[in-house]
Each structure stands twice: as structure tokens, then as C-alpha cells.
Amino acid sequence: MNKYIELVNEKLNEYMPIIYPEKIFKSMKYTVTLPGKRLRPVMCLEACKIMGGKIEDAMPTACAIEMLHAQSLIHDDLPCMDDDSFRRGKPSNHMVFGEAIAVLAGDALLSFAPQLIIEKSKLSSDIILKVLHEFVSSAGAYQLIGGQVVDILSEEGRCKLYDSDEETLKYIHTNKTAVLFKLALKTGAIIAGAGEEQIKEMEDFGQKFGLAFQIYDDIMDEISSFEELGKTIGKDKDAGKLTYVTLYGLDKAKEKVHELISDAHSIIDKYNSEIFESILDKILEKINK
């Protein structure tokens, strides 16, 4: 796992030279290269490997997905959204570069990432097209943006999209969080040349893991510290945000994570991936501390 993280960090650095106009490239690179967990790129590389592919073939896509993730973090932290001054243990992008540049850095990452996939991937045009299709459909209003919109509207019960809070919550978690894990896992499999059934398996794994991960993230917001998470904690409750924890309480939320992680295990265990197993174990370890 650490080897993959090192490789991803090296490549992110290499793929993002600082050129004129330096301010925007520095702002883009700032959040991308802050020390995140790199879960999405690692999962993309591992999906490619367990499906019989070479990890270097998946590297541009893995890094592009980390850039899309960083883009969503930059925009999520803006005063008009979650209004968070810290991210990954450091001042958020807009605190360093100002709001206008932070908005533009997010926008620029959104087009830089697919450009990277096209320019750096040594894959057939057919595979590149499939990967790009997954990428752009995940990033747009059908998924990532849609999830964020319902998340915002859910504050103080302003969302009337679904009858029950539970359904609304599942929509939010599926679209704002599980989406990037599914994207990473599916594209890793596509790059390895996996068949439809295996690609679907990766999607199902990403869905279970992504739902578990968002509830884990909400639990950590309640039980962890700024030092551990590198961002402001305890904001969900204050904002009246709809989360599994605010809806059902901590114990029920932990139970749900256990259930989803067990489902994820049952999909992935046959591949004997130490990396996937250690990611799943880590989530349980953190919430049980």
C-alpha cells in the first residue's frame, strides 16, 4: 500500500509542472499534493492489478481521479459550501489563494484530469473512451454534483426529493462519495481488460465501500480530533446536516459500517488482495477505537 502511495505521489508531482500563469498551477497543485490518504488512486491501481493488468497502465487514470477528488474538496471547502478553513491538516485552498483562484483551480482540475488521461495513457482509443465516459459521467450533475446539491439542500430539512430521510441519505452518499470509489475501481478493471461481470463486481464493491466510508467519515467527525483528521470537526451537528450519525446515533451508525464492510468483503475476498483487505480493516479499526 505504501509503495502505491509513493508511486502516486511521485506521478502527481510529475504530472503537474508549475508553468505560466503560475498562480493557477500552484493553487491546483497545492491541494492535490497535500498528504491525503490516496485511497481512490490506490484502489484504481489495485483493481487493475487483481484483474490481471499492469499498474503503470492505470497510473494516469488513478492520478486523474485523485485530481477530481481534490477538485471536489477545494469547492466543498469554499465559504459558499461547507466553509472550512482547513483541509488535509493545512489551510484550505481559498485561505491560501483566495476564493476566485480556488474556484478556478477546481474548474481547471476538472478539465486537466481528463486531459491527463488522454495525453498520458498508453491504452487503445477504445479503452480511453470507456474510461473517459466513466470519468465525465461520474463528475457531473448525474452523480458527484447531484450528490452535493442534495447534501446542501438536506441541511435543515430543505430537501423534498425523497419521502424518507434514509432514502435521501442513500442518494447523497451514493452520489457524493461512493461515486469516486466506483469510478476508481471500475476504470482500473476496464484498463486491465476485465469482462462486464468483473467490472460490475468492482462497481458493487465501490458502492458498498463508498457508503461505509461516508458513514465512517461522519462518525469520525463526531469522535475524532482535528489533529487526526486535519480538518474542522463537529460541524455536521452544528449545521443540522443530514448524516447517518445525526439521524440514527453513533451506535447504529457503527453497526451500519460493520454491515457494509462485511458486504464489501464478501465481494472482494476471493481476489485475496492484501491492499483491499487492509483498507477495509482500517475503517473498522478506526471506528472501534
CA dihedral angle for residue 91, residue 11, residue 190, residue 216, rounded to 10 degrees: -30
Q: Which three cell numbers stand for residue 196?
A: 462486464
With contacts defined by CB under 6 A, name the span among 53-61, 120-128, 142-150, 250-258 that binds ligand GRG: 142-150
Q: Which residue in the set 43, 73, 102, 131 belongs to the binding site for ligand GRG (CB under 6 A)?
A: 73
Contact between 39 and ligand GRG by CB under 6 A: the answer reads yes
Q: Would you count residue 241 as binding ligand GRG (CB under 6 A)?
A: no
103 binds ligand GRG (CB under 6 A): no
The enclosing H or E element of 231 equals none
Residue nearest to ligand GRG (CB): 36
One of 1, 24, 104, 110 touching ligand GRG (CB under 6 A): 110
Q: Which of 174, 177, 243, 246 binds ligand GRG (CB under 6 A)?
A: 177
Smallest distance from ligand GRG to CB 242, Å: 14
Work out whether strand 90-91 and strand 86-87 pair parallel, antiparallel, or are unpaired: antiparallel
| Binding of residue 222 to ligand GRG (CB under 6 A) | no
Torsion of CA 168, 229, 265, 192, to 10 degrees: 90
Q: How far is the CB of 49 from ligand GRG (least distance, A)?
A: 20
Element (H, E) at 12: helix 2-15
Q: Is 173 in the site for ligand GRG (CB under 6 A)?
A: no
Quote the crossing angle between the two packed helices 2-15 and 39-50, to the nearest 10°. Answer: 110
d(CA 182, CA 40): 9
Determine the angle formed by the axes of helices 196-223 and 39-50, rounding to 10 degrees. Answer: 150
Selected binder of ligand GRG within 36, 41, 114, 146 (CB under 6 A):
36
Stretch that binds ligand GRG, among 1-9, 66-74, 118-126, 197-205 (CB under 6 A): 66-74
Choice from 37, 54, 122, 200 touching ligand GRG (CB under 6 A): 37
DSSP 158-204: ---SSSSHHHHHHHHIIIIIIHHHHHHHHHHHHHHT--HHHHHHHHH
Q: Does 217 bind ligand GRG (CB under 6 A)?
A: yes
Q: Toward ligand GRG, which CB reaches closer, 72 or 92? A: 72
DSSP string of 235-275, one letter each residue: HHHHHT---HHHHH-HHHHHHHHHHHHHHHHHHHGGG--HH
Size of the site for ligand GRG (CB under 6 A): 19
CB of 91 to ligand GRG, least distance (A): 14
Interface with ligand GRG (CB under 6 A): 36-37, 39, 69, 72-73, 75-76, 81, 88, 110, 139, 144-145, 148, 176-177, 214, 217
